[in-house]
C-alpha cells in the first residue's frame, strides 16, 4: 500500500532522522511532525558535555536546520493513539489521521523528589534544552551541588559543575560508571573524578526534602547530604503513557521487530522503543542507537520486509574529568582488557574486551582514533576462508 | 554552499563520514578531513545529513 500521510510523534534526533530518511527514500506525501518541545531538534548528548562549558552563549547543542519540509507541530503532545482508526489525538484536541506512523516520543527524566513542591523546586534534571539552560544559570553562582546517580549523565554533570567552580558530591550506591562500563574502567573514572575534587557518597539516595530553604538528600544509610542544589540523573522513563490503551504495549514496553515495526504501518525508534539486539529485546537510549533505529524504521515503513533489518553496532562516548572515552561494542565490560596501544590506568590507551558470545568491544581512552577502526578492532571481519573453486 | 568545520569541537566520532563518505573522512589519526568544501546541489543533502548526525555540532553549512 502506498502511504500518503505519515505522522511522526517526537521531534528529537529519532523523529528528525526518521523524517529525513523517509524523504531520502522517496516519500513525497504529507509529513507531519509532532513535538512536545518548542524547539527544533538539538544534540541532547551535548547538553551534559560541551554545552555546560560553553562560555557566553550556549551553542554546542545546535544542529543545522532540517530539510525534510514537514509540517511541524511543536509544543504539542500526543495524548492517544488508535491504531485501528489510524488517528493520533493531540493535547489541543486536534486529531491527526495517518496511513503510516513513526513513534519517536522519547523518554523523560526520572526524579528523586516525591510530590512535595517545596522539595521538587530544588531538584534539577538534565534532559531538555530548558533543563540545560536552567542548570547553567544555577551553577553560575557556584552553589554546592549534590548529583544523584553515578551513571554517565550524573558523572558528566558532576564534572561540568566542578569545572564551573562548584563543590560537588556524587551520591550513588553503585560505583560510578560501573553499570555502564564495568569494574575496570569504573575504577579509572572514579579516580579521575576524585583527583578533580569530586566527593563520593557511596549510598543510595532514597528521598529529597527541604529543610531551612535548602534541599536535603536522604540516603539509605540514614545520613543526609545538604547542598544548595540537587541534580538527579537516575535514569529515564520511556514516554509510552499516550500508548496505554493502544494495544501496542507488551508488558508496558513498546517492542518492535528487527525492522523497527510494531505493526506494518506503525514503527517506533529512539529512546521509547525496545528492539531486538544480540543481548535480547532492550532499549538502548543513546544517540547513535536512535539514529540507526530511525533509519531502519523509516525504510521498513515504506518498504516492509524488503527493507534491511536493523544491524546495530553500539557506539558510546563520554567526556568527564579530563577523560574522553569512545567505545564500540556492547557494554559493560567484565574483567581486564587486552591493551592494544598505550598504557594502563587512564590512558591514552586503546583496549579490547572479548565477550562470551564471541563479540568484542574496543575502547579508546584519551586516544584519538577513527571510529571505523575502532569498530574493526571490536569485531574484526571473519578471516577469509578459502573456498573451493 | 560551504562546509565549515569547527575543528576544536570535533571529537572524531566519524558519524559524518558514515553518511557522507564522498565528502569527508577521518584520517589515521582520527582527524576529520574535508575532501569537499564547496558542495554542489547534488552533494547538499549528504552535507546536511553529515552536519546533522554530528553529536557535537562541529559541522555547519554556510
For A45, name the nearest residue in chain B, comparing CA atoms only.
B55
The predicted model gives B1-12 an average pLDDT of 89
Residue A114 CA: distances (Å) to CA of A25, A149, A232: 46, 17, 13
Say which of B18, B28, B55 has its CB closest to residue A43.
Answer: B55
**Residue in the structure block whose three cell numbers are 493513539:** A81
Q: What distance in Å separates residue B38's CA from the closest CA in chain A?
A: 17
Confidence class for position B15, pLDDT limits 50, 70, 90:
confident
Cβ neighbours of A161 (radius 10 Å): 26
- At A1 the pLDDT is 65
Contacts of A50 in chain B (CB under 8 A): 9, 56
CA distance A219 to A197: 21
Please give the grid coordinates belonging to residue A274.
525496545
Walk along chain A (389 residues) and give the pLDDT tens digit of each residue: 689 999 999 999 999 999 989 998 999 999 999 999 998 899 899 888 877 777 778 887 888 777 788 999 999 999 999 999 999 999 999 999 999 999 999 999 999 988 888 888 899 999 999 999 999 999 999 999 999 999 999 999 999 999 999 999 999 999 999 999 999 999 999 999 999 999 999 999 999 999 988 999 999 999 999 999 999 999 999 999 999 999 999 999 999 999 999 999 999 999 999 999 988 999 999 998 999 999 999 999 999 999 999 988 888 999 999 999 999 999 999 999 999 998 877 779 999 999 988 889 999 999 888 777 888 899 887 654 444 44
- Interface contact B10, partner A, CB < 8 A: no
Q: Are A100 and A260 in contact (CB under 8 A)?
A: no
Reading the block at residue A178, the C-alpha cell is 560501573
Q: What is the pLDDT of residue A388?
A: 47
Q: What are phi and psi of A163, to 5 degrees?
A: -65, -30
Kindly identify which residue of chain B lies nearest to residue A20, measuring between CA atoms: B49
CB contact under 8 A, A46 and B48: no
Q: What was the pLDDT predicted at A117?
A: 87
List all residues 6 or more positions away from B33 whose beta carbon is below 8 Å from its beta carbon. B24, B25, B26, B27
Do residues A302 and A24 make contact, with C-beta atoms less than 8 angstroms apart?
no
Q: What number does CATH give the domain A5-108+237-306? A: 3.50.50.60
Q: Which secondary structure element, helix H or strand E, spans residue A23, and what is its range?
A: helix A13-24
**Residue A137 backbone phi and psi in degrees, to 5:** -65, -45
Partner A contacted by B51 (CB < 8 A): yes
A50 CB near a chain B CB, below 8 Å? yes
Query: What is the rounded distance in angstroms from the CA atom of residue A179 to the CA atom of residue A189?
Result: 12
Instruction: Compare CB distances from A288 to B15, B27, B52 and report the shortest one's residue.
Output: B15
**With respect to CATH, is domain A117-234 assigned 3.50.50.60?**
yes
Contact A260, A273 (CB under 8 A): yes
Nearest one of A167, A160, A144 to A216, comparing CA atoms: A144
Chain B contact set for A369 (CB, 8 A): 12, 30
A5-108+237-306 against A117-234: fold identical: yes
Is the predicted pLDDT of residue B29 greater than 70, yes or no? yes
Whether the CB of B26 is below 8 Å from some CB of chain A: the reply is: yes
Cα–Cα dist A121/A37, whole Å: 21
What pLDDT, on the 0 to 100 scale, is given for residue A385? Answer: 47
Report CA torsion sign: A170, A171, A174, A175. positive
Do residue B48 and residue A50 have CB atoms under 8 angstroms apart?
no
Go through the domains of chain B in sequence order and give each one's CATH number. Answer: 3-61 (3.30.70.20)
A43 and B28 within 8 Å at the Cβ level: the answer is no
ipTM for the predicted complex comes to: 0.81
Sequence ranges of the domains in chain A: 5-108+237-306, 117-234, 322-378
Contacts of residue B52 in chain A, CB cutoff 8 Å? 16-17, 20, 63-64, 66
Residues of A in contact with B60 (CB under 8 A): 64
Measured distance CA(A386)–CA(B15) in Å, rounded: 33
Amino acid at each position: 500500500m502506498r502511504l500518503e500521510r505519515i505522522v511522526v510523534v517526537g521531534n528529537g534526533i529519532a523523529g528528525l532522522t526518521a523524517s529525513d530518511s523517509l524523504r531520502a527514500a522517496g516519500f513525497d506525501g504529507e509529513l507531519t511532525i509532532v513535538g512536545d518541545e518548542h524547539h527544533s531538534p538539538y544534540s541532547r548528548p551535548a547538553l551534559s558535555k560541551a554545552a555546560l562549558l560553553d562560555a557566553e552563549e550556549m551553542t554546542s547543542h545546535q544542529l543545522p536546520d532540517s530539510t525534510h519540509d514537514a509540517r511541524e507541530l511543536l509544543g504539542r503532545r500526543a495524548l492517544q493513539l488508535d491504531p485501528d482508526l489510524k488517528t493520533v489525538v493531540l493535547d489541543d484536541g486536534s486529531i491527526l489521521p495517518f496511513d503510516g506512523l513513526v513513534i519517536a516520543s522519547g523518554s523523560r527524566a526520572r526524579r528523586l523528589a516525591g510530590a512535595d513542591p517545596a522539595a521538587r523546586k530544588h531538584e534539577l534534571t538534565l534532559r531538555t534544552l530548558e533543563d540545560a539552560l536552567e542548570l547553567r544559570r544555577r551553577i553560575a553562582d557556584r552553589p554546592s551541588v549534590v548529583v544523584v546517580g553515578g551513571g554517565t549523565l550524573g558523572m558528566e554533570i558532576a564534572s561540568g559543575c566542578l569545572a564551573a567552580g562548584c563543590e560537588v558530591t556524587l551520591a550513588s550506591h553503585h560505583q560510578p560508571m560501573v553499570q555502564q562500563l564495568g569494574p575496570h574502567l569504573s575504577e579509572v573514572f572514579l579516580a579521575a573524578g576524585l583527583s578533580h575534587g569530586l566527593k563520593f557518597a557511596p549510598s543510595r539516595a532514597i528521598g529529597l526534602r527541604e529543610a531551612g530553604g535548602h534541599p536535603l538528600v536522604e540516603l539509605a544509610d540514614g545520613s543526609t547530604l545538604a547542598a544548595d542544589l540537587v541534580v538527579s540523573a537516575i535514569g529515564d522513563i520511556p514516554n509510552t503513557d499516550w500508548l496505554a490503551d493502544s494495544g501496542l504495549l507488551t508488558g508496558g514496553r513498546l517492542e518492535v521487530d528487527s525492522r523497527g515495526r510494531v505493526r506494518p504501518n506503525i514503527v517506533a525508534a529512539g529512546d521509547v522503543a525496545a528492539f531486538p539486539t544480540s543481548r535480547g529485546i532492550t532499549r538502548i537510549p543513546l544517540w547513535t542507537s536512535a539514529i540507526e533505529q530511525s533509519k531502519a524504521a523509516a525504510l521498513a515503513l515504506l518498504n516492509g520486509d524488503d527493507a534491511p533489518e536493523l544491524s546495530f553496532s553500539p557506539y558510546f562516548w563520554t567526556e568527564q574529568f579530563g577523560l574522553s572515552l569512545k567505545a564500540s561494542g556492547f557494554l559493560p565490560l567484565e574483567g581486564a582488557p587486552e591493551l592494544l596501544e598505550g598504557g594502563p590506568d587512564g590512558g591514552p590507551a586503546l583496549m579490547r574486551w572479548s565477550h562470551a558470545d564471541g563479540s568484542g568491544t574496543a575502547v579508546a581512552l584519551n586516544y584519538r582514533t577513527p571510529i571505523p577502526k575502532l569498530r574493526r578492532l571490536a569485531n574484526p571481519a571473519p578471516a577469509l576462508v578459502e573456498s573451493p573453486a | 554552499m560551504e562546509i565549515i568545520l569547527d575543528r576544536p569541537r570535533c571529537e572524531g566520532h566519524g558519524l559524518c563520514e558514515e553518511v557522507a563518505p564522498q565528502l569527508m573522512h577521518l584520517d589515521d589519526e582520527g582527524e576529520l578531513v574535508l575532501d569537499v568544501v564547496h558542495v554542489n546541489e547534488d552533494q547538499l543533502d549528504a552535507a546536511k545529513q553529515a552536519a546533522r548526525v554530528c553529536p557535537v555540532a562541529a559541522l555547519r553549512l554556510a
